[in-house]
Amino acid sequence: MARPIILITGGSRGIGAATARIAAARGYDIAFTYLERVDTATTLATELTTTGARVVPIQADVAQEADVLRVFTTVDRELGTLSALVNNAGILEQQMRLDAMSAERWVRVLTTNVVGSFVCAREAVLRMSTRHGGRGGAIVNLSSMASKIGGANEYIDYAASKGAIDSMTLGLAREIATEGVRVNCVRPGPIRTEIHASGGEPGRVDRIGPSIPIGRGGEPEEVAAAVMFLLSDEASYITGTIVDVSGGR
């Protein structure tokens, strides 16, 4: 049987890389996007190929529609028919109050986190949906507990962008439920990734960890496990669902 094909945006590190490792171990061929860190992407690709997977790293900015289109045509050409999409790429900017944020910042965050995910989902549906001649598949979007909490005094813009991801998950899942494509969402709490440094507080998870009911921050692999479950046949009757991976927060 042909190996399933997964595309992971923002897949060279953090939750994306952890997802790629599990996917490779489960027999997927893998494409992943990365923005800048060529060495990191190359190292991960080399690691993944040792499992027998075909691996295609693609440098791209999901905020640019032309880049997204190039990513999908590359996957078509190099790997074949897409089976799964993980909308993981996202950005976080410096912690501050809303009344200090510029409109340009809002545009940057929403373009990457919302529009980028929407365009990737659109291209995946055009390939997976039986309405378009596809064979079905699954999409998992990465949100954040910030969408529930609101991001006050830190990043309301990021929280709002993830609220949009929650809404898109629900709407798209219902729109294509009869077309062989399931759409779900994972909403992580504080996870030990480099994104917190982008917000200006690399140790944020250590600060917040003791206040989480489970008593600690999460690891990328714990989020990736939930992502891969939702992509699997074990979740065949699950769509339009948001799974919190947040330690009870």
pLDDT, tens digit, 9 for 90 and up, residues 18-45 = 999 999 999 999 999 999 999 999 999 9
Residue 109 pLDDT class (50, 70, 90 cuts): very high
Q: Give the CATH number for residue 72.
A: 3.40.50.720
Residue numbers of the domain that contains 10: 5-245
pLDDT of residue 201: 74
The whole-chain average pLDDT of the chain stands at 95
**Distance between CA atoms of 211 and 214, rounded to whole angstroms?**
8
User: Active-site residues: which are they?
Assistant: 158
How many structural domains are present in the chain?
1
CB-based contact 95:83 (threshold 8 Å): no
Query: Per-residue pLDDT for 130 more than 90?
Result: yes
pLDDT, tens digit, 9 for 90 and up, residues 54-96 = 999 999 999 999 999 999 999 999 999 999 999 999 999 999 9
Judged by DSSP in three states, 167 sits in: helix
Question: DSSP class of residue 113?
Answer: I
pLDDT of residue 249: 84
pLDDT, tens digit, 9 for 90 and up, residues 187-216 = 999 998 877 666 677 788 888 889 999 999
Task: Give the Cβ contact number of residue 85 at 10 Å.
Answer: 30
pLDDT of residue 198: 65
CB-based contact 231:140 (threshold 8 Å): yes
**Distance between CA atoms of 37 and 135, rounded to whole angstroms?**
34
pLDDT, tens digit, 9 for 90 and up, residues 138-174 = 999 999 999 999 999 999 999 999 999 999 999 999 9
**Distance between CA atoms of 183 and 74, rounded to whole angstroms?**
23
pLDDT, tens digit, 9 for 90 and up, residues 220-246 = 999 999 999 999 999 999 999 999 999
pLDDT of residue 194: 74
